[in-house]
A and B are shown apart, each in its own frame.
Chain A
Amino acid sequence: MSSNQSEKTFPELLDILYRNESRRVLATLIRLLGDFDLAEEALHDAFKAALEQWPQDGIPDNPVAWLISAGRFKAIDKIRKYSRFSTLDETTTDPTGDRVTVTEDDQDESIKDDQLRLIFTCCHPSLSSEARIALTLRVVCGLTTEEIAHAFLIAPKTVAQRIVRAKAKIRDARIPYIVPEPAQWLQRIDSVLQVIYLVFNEGYSASSGSELIRCDLSAEAIRLGRLLSDLLPKEPEVSGLLALMLLQDSRRAARTTESGDLILLEEQDRSLWNRDQISDGVKLVRQALRASGFGAYTLQAAIAAVHAESPNANNTDWAEIVGLYDVLLHIHPSPVVELNRAVAIAMRDGPEFGLKLVNGLLDQGKLKDYHLLYAAKADFHRRLHQPEQAIAAYQQALTLVRQTPERRFLERRLAELQNK
C-alpha cells in the first residue's frame, strides 16, 4: 500500500473503528479515570493519537487495548499538567513515557465487565427515568445530544441538561462503577431492562410525522438488547426482552398503511412480517422459558411468538395465549394485562365473555381513563351486533386517545358503524 493511499484509508478505518469500538474503549476509560467527562476527552485524544501514530507504526494487533492505553496516558498527561484531579489513583500513571504500549489489564473479559458497569451505572435507579434514558443513549449508544433530542421531540438543551445533571449526581453522590451485587441484582437488571424497553416503545409507537427518525430508537433499543444479551447470556429476562422487541418489531412493515394509519394485528398482511426477526425472537423465547426465573418480558414475548407463528387471527392458538396471560397476571398483576387477557378470552370463547371481563374492570374503577379499554369494549359490542353501544364506546375512546394514528383508527371504525 502506498503511503498516499494509506493516508486516505486510515481516517476511514478509524471512523469504522470509532463506530464499532468507541463505546467499549470509553467504558474502560471511565473505570480507569473515574470520571465520565475526563474519559470522553481521553477517548477523543486516543483516536487523535491513532490517526497520528498508526500510519507510521501500522495498526496494532489489538486496537481496542491500544486505544484504551492511549486514552489513559493522554488523560494522565493532562492531569499532571493541570493537576486538576488530585483524587486520581497514582498507580495508573504510566512510567514508560509518552509512547503508547498495551498493558495486561486491558483484556477482553475486563472490557466486557466495563461495558456492564457502564450500562448499570447509566441505568442506576437513583437517576430519574429521563436521565437514565438520555445518559444511556448518549454514553452507551454514542448518540449525539441532538439525535436524542430529535428522537424524543425535545430541545437539545433539555437533553444536555439532563446528561450534565446525571453525570454530576454520579460523581457527587458517588454512584459506583460496578456490576451490582447479587442482593441488588433483580432490581438493578429491572432498571436496565426498563430503560431499554422505554427507548424501544418510544420508537415503536411513534406518531407518523416523525416516524423515520423514531424508528432508529427501536433499532437502538434492539442493539442495546443484543449487547446486554451478549454480556449476560444466562439472564432469562434479558433474552425475554430482546425476543419481545424483535417479535414486535417484526410486524413494523405490516402495522400501518402507507398513510400511517394503524392496522390491527388480525388484519395485518402477515407476509410482510420480518421472518428473520421472528425466528431470532422465537429462539430466544424458548431459551428464556427453559431457564428458571423468567418474568413478564419473557411471557409477553411468548405471547408475541404465538401470534408470530400463526397463519392468521382465526387459526391462532388463543387457548395458549389465554394460558400465558394467566401466568403473566399471576406474576405481574396489572389491569392492562387483565384487559389483554379479556381480548384473548373473547377470541377463544366469544365477545360476550370478553365484554363481561371488561365491564368487570370498569365496575372496579380500573382503566376508566384508558382509551384502549373502550376500544376493546366497542369492538366486542360491534361483534355482538350492538351498534349503538359500540358507537358510544368508540366515542368514549375518542375523548381519551392521544396519538394521531390511533385517533384516526377509532374515527374510521366509528364512521363504519354510523354509515350502516
Chain B
Amino acid sequence: MKYLCLVYMEEKLLEAIPDSDCLAYDESIRATGHCLASEALQPVHTATTVRVREGRVNITDGPFAETKEQLAGFYLIEARHLDEAIQLAARIPPAQVGSIEIRPIRPIREMAKSG
C-alpha cells in the first residue's frame, strides 16, 4: 500500500534540521525499499497557484492556503499498513519540529482498470 507523507514545518525552523540529516534518512529509507519517491521543496515564496475558471487560467502568487506550517517536502512510501507508515514517518527528521501528514494513495488507475 502506498502512502504520501507530506512534510509540513515553519520555514524559519528549516535551519534546525540540517540537510545532512534529511539526506541520511532519505538514503536509509530508499535502501530498505520503502521509499518510491522523495523531494524537498523550495520555500513557499516561490509558489504559484493556478486555477482554471470558465476556461480562463488564473494565476496568483503564493500557496493555495496561508498556514503557519508550510509544505516543505514529501516522501512517497510503500508500507504494509498505517502502523508501518507511522513508524517510517516518525523518523523523517522535520517531524521533530514540524508535522508529517500521512495520506493513503487512492489507487485510481487500478480502480479504472478493474471497473
A residues sitting closer than 8 Å to B (CB atoms) are 86, 124, 126, 172-176, 178, 180-181, 183-184
Chain A CB within 8 A of B30 CB: no
Interface 1/0s, chain B 68-91, versus A by CB < 8 A?
000000000000111110110000
B residues sitting closer than 8 Å to A (CB atoms) are 1, 80-84, 86-87, 102, 104, 106, 114
A176 and B86 contacting across the interface, CB-CB below 8 Å: no
* Residues on B with beta carbons closer than 8 Å to the beta carbon of A175: 81-83
The one of A86, A172, A178 in contact with B83, judged by C-beta atoms closer than 8 angstroms, is: A178
A174 and B104 contacting across the interface, CB-CB below 8 Å: yes
Q: How many whole Å from B31's CB to the nearest CB in chain A?
A: 20
Interface SS of chain A: helix, strand, loop or mixed? loop
Please, how many angstroms separate the alpha-carbon atoms of A86 and B111 in the complex?
12
> Which of B1, B83, B102, B104 has most A Cβ within 10 Å?
B83
* Residues on B with beta carbons closer than 8 Å to the beta carbon of A183: 87
B80 and A176 contacting across the interface, CB-CB below 8 Å: yes
Q: How many whole Å from A18's CB to the nearest CB in chain B?
A: 31
Q: How many whole Å from B114's CB to the nearest CB in chain A?
A: 7
> Which of A172, A174, A176, A184 has most B Cβ within 10 Å?
A174
Q: How many whole Å from B86's CB to the nearest CB in chain A?
A: 7
> Which of A173, A181, A184 has most B Cβ within 10 Å?
A173
Chain A residue at minimum C-beta to C-beta distance from B1: A174
Chain A residue at minimum C-beta to C-beta distance from B3: A173
The A-B contact count (CB < 8 A) is: 29
20 contacts between A and B (CB under 8 A): A86-B114, A124-B82, A126-B86, A172-B104, A173-B102, A173-B104, A174-B81, A174-B82, A174-B104, A175-B81, A175-B82, A175-B83, A176-B80, A176-B81, A176-B84, A178-B81, A178-B83, A180-B83, A183-B87, A184-B86
A126 and B87 contacting across the interface, CB-CB below 8 Å: no
A176 and B87 contacting across the interface, CB-CB below 8 Å: no
Q: How many whole Å from A373's CB to the nearest CB in chain B?
A: 31
Q: How many whole Å from B64's CB to the nearest CB in chain A?
A: 23
B114 and A173 contacting across the interface, CB-CB below 8 Å: no
Q: How many whole Å from A356's CB to the nearest CB in chain B?
A: 39
* Residues on B with beta carbons closer than 8 Å to the beta carbon of A174: 1, 81-82, 104
> Which of B1, B80, B86, B106 has most A Cβ within 10 Å?
B86
Q: How many whole Å from A116's CB to the nearest CB in chain B?
A: 14
Q: How many whole Å from A89's CB to the nearest CB in chain B?
A: 15
> Which of B82, B102, B104 has most A Cβ within 10 Å?
B82
Besides the known contacts A173-B82, A174-B104, 18 further A-B residue pairs in the complex with CB atoms under 8 A apart? A124-B82, A126-B82, A126-B86, A173-B102, A174-B1, A174-B81, A174-B82, A175-B81, A175-B82, A175-B83, A176-B82, A176-B83, A176-B84, A178-B81, A180-B83, A181-B83, A183-B87, A184-B83
* Residues on B with beta carbons closer than 8 Å to the beta carbon of A86: 114
Chain B residue at minimum C-beta to C-beta distance from A174: B81
Please, how many angstroms separate the alpha-carbon atoms of A10 and B13 in the complex?
68
Please, how many angstroms separate the alpha-carbon atoms of A178 and B82 in the complex?
11
* Residues on B with beta carbons closer than 8 Å to the beta carbon of A181: 83
Chain A residue at minimum C-beta to C-beta distance from B81: A176
* Residues on A with beta carbons closer than 8 Å to the beta carbon of B86: 126, 184
